Structure 1
Amino acid sequence: MPYSLNLDIPAFLQHYWQQKPLVIKGAYSDFIDPLSPDELAGMAMEAEISSRIVVTKADDWHVDQGPFEDFAEYGDSHWQLLVQAVNHYLPQTDELMDSLRFLPDWRLDDLMVSFATPQGGVGPHIDNYDVFILQGEGRRHWVVGDKGNYKPRGNNPQSPLVEDFEPMIDVVLEPGDLLYIPPGYPHRGNTLEPSMSYSIGYRAPSQQELFGEVADFLLDHSRGQQRFTSAIKEDTQGQVSLSTQSGMAQLLTALIEDKSTYNDILGRLLSQNRFDLDISPSDPAYSSEELAKLIATDNHLSRIGGLKVLRLEQDVQPRLFINGEAWLFSELDEATLSEIANSKQLSPQLATALCNNQHNAAILLDWVNQGLYYFDADEA
C-alpha cells in the first residue's frame, strides 16, 4: 500500500531536523495500519524478535521482556507492548519506511511498533536520538517540553524518567498524524484508547561507539601497532611532558587521517544494525549458472528488510559496506556503485551487468546465498 508523506521536506530539514519538535497533522492521508494488534502480538511470541511490555505505575514503570506466551494477565489498561525492528521482518512496512527515506540509510535505527491500552505509556523521558512517532489506529495524548536540565524522577539517578516539564507541544495524535522529536527534548505519551503507534528512530554514532569500532578493527586486523617514539628531553622522573602527550595524541590522529583505515572502520560501523536482521540463507544454495538463468528471465533481486548497503563518497576503493562487511568490486564505476547502494531492488539489467564480471558475479552469488538478497516475485 502506498504511503505518501504530506511534508515540505526542504523546509523540515532547514528548520526542524535536529533543531526542534514538530507536529504534522494528517501527515499520511487515510492511513491504514500495515499490521494488526494480533499480528504484533504474534511477533512478540517469537524468541528471535526483541519485544517488551511496559506496565505503567504511578511514578514509575515496570518492564517485562519477551518473548510472551499470553497477555491476559496484563488486563485492559495501563500497559503497552513494544516490538523492535518490525521492518526487518514484515515486507509490508517497506513503503512506510521509504516515505522517510529523504534521510540517509546509515542513520536509520529501526521501526518500533507498539500496541497500547488506555493509560499505557512510559512516563516523561528523554531520548538521545531522533524519532518520528506515527499514530495508527486509536488516539494518544503527547506532550513535549523544551530542552533543559531535568532531574531524574524522585532524584533517583537510576530512573529512566525525568521530572514533569512545561509543555511546548500538547497534542492528541489521531491516525495518520506524525510527531517529530529531536534528541534531548523531554516527552510523554498517554494512551486515550487502544492504539497502534509506529516509532521510526534515527541514530548517529557516539564517540564511545566510534572509538570502540576503531579498537575492534585494529585488534581484528592486527593494525595500529606503531609505538610512540621520541627523544627523552622534556620528561622527568615523575612527569609526562606536553610534547610527549601531544605525540601520543598524534598517534590516534594518524589513524583517523589514514583514509584506507578510517573509511574501512566507518563503513563497517555505519552499515551494521542494532537489531538482528531476518537472514535466511538459500537452501539449497544457488549455483552461478542457476543465478544467471533466473536473472536472464527478468527476475528482480530485493534486499531483505533493514539491510544497509552503503558506499562512502570518494572512497579509496570501489566497494560497498553491507551489514558490517566490506565488499570490494572489480572494474565497477561510481555510478553503478551508487545505484546498488541507493536502490532496494537490483533490476535484471543491473544484475546482468554485475554478472558480466567474474569477480562481481561471485559477490552477487554470495549475497543471494547468504540471504542478503532474494528473488522477489512481486517485482517481476
Structure 2
Amino acid sequence: MTRSPARRVAALAAVVLTAAACDEALRPFLPPPVASLSIPITTFDSKIAFQSDRDGNLDIYLMNADGSAPVNLTNHAAADVRPAWSPDGTSLAFHTDRDGNFEVYTMGADGSAPVRLTNHAAFDGIVAWSPDGARIAFQTNRDGNFEVYVMNADGSGLVNLSNNPAFDGFPAWSPDGTRIAFQSSPGGNAEIYVMNADGSAPTNLTNNAAAESAPAWSPDGSRIAFHSGRDGNFDIYVMNADGTAPTRLTTSAASDLQPAWSPDGAQIAFSTRRDGDAEIYTMAADGSGPTNLTNHAANESFPAWGLTPGPPRPAHEIIDLLVAAVEDLVSAGTLGRGHGNALIVKLEAAARRLAEGNVQAAVNLLGAFSNQVQALVNGGLVAAMDGAALIEAAIAASSQLTS
C-alpha cells in the first residue's frame, strides 16, 4: 500500500526526532496537501516545450530556456501539438491525432508514458492545466461548435463551461485558479474574455474590432499577454488583467503569435515568422531584446515555458530558505517576533554546526526546530499549512545529511 504524503511526512519527522535524541516525541502531524508557505526544497530547470516539424511531421520538443539541447519528446508519425505544462513541471498535456482525430493526452516531461484523456469523435485540444494540477481546461466542438470544457486531470468529470453559440477556445487558467481567460467570437471577431472558473460571469476584456487570441496570464496574475491584429498584422500585446492599458510589445512586419510567460514573469516567449519560417523567440516582458531560440529551417510554434524538477537543494541552502521563510511569517504578522527569533536561533546554530562539519549536531538542531514548530502549531500560534511547509523543509535538510 502506498503511503499518503501526510504519513510520509510524519514518518520522516519521527526519524529526525530520533536522530535528535529528543525526550519528547513529536505529536502526529498531518499537514494538508498544499502549504500556503512555499519553500523550494528542490531545484528547478527552466525549459520551453514547443511544437516543430523539423523531423518531417509535427512533434512536441523540449529545449533549455536559452534554446540549447532540443529534444523530440513524442517522435510519433501522427501530429502532436500545442504542449501545456502541469504546475509541478513533471508532465505535459498536448493534443494529437494518433488515434484518428485530435484528442487530449498527457505524458511525462521526458516524453514517457503518454496517456489518452479524451475519447470522442470531435476535436479535443488546446489545453491548460489548473494551478493545482487537479483539472485541465480544453476546447472541443463535441456540442456542434467550439466550447471551453474542463475535466479532471484523469479525463473524468467533463463540464461545458462556456456553453455559448459562438466560438470559445484557447483557455488559460489564472495563477490563483479562480478565473479562465479564453478567446470568444460572439460578434464575429475574436476577443479575449475572462470568466470565473465555473464558467460564470464571462466578460469581454479587449472589445476591439481586430482579432485577438491566445491569452496568457503573467505568473503573478496581474497581466494578460495575447496576440492581436489591431495594428494591421499580428503582434504581441499585454494588458492588465481587467483589460485596461493594452500595450504593444512587438512591432515586426511579420506575425508574432502565441505568447508564453517565463515562470518568473521577466520574459515572454512567442512564435514569429520574421525570419521567414516560424521560430520561437524570447523577449523581455517590456518587448526589448528579442532573441531567436530555435533558428531552424523548420516551423516551430506554440511555446510553453515551465520549470522541471531538478536535484534536491543542499542542506545548507534549505536552512537558509527556512530562515527566510520564518522571517516572512514574522513580517506578515502570522508569527510573533519572539517565536520567530527562537526558531531562527536554532536554524542559524544548525548552519554553524554544519559549516564546522558537525553533521549530527546540525541534525539534532533541525529536529529541535521541528519540535518547536509542532508545538507552535498545536498551540495555534502557527497555521497548520505553514507548519507543514517548515517541517517538511527541515526533514528534507536532515535527510540530505543522514543519507
Shorter-chain TM range is under 0.3
The answer to which structure has the higher helix fraction is 1
When the two structures are superposed, what TM-score results if normalisation uses the length of structure 1? 0.27
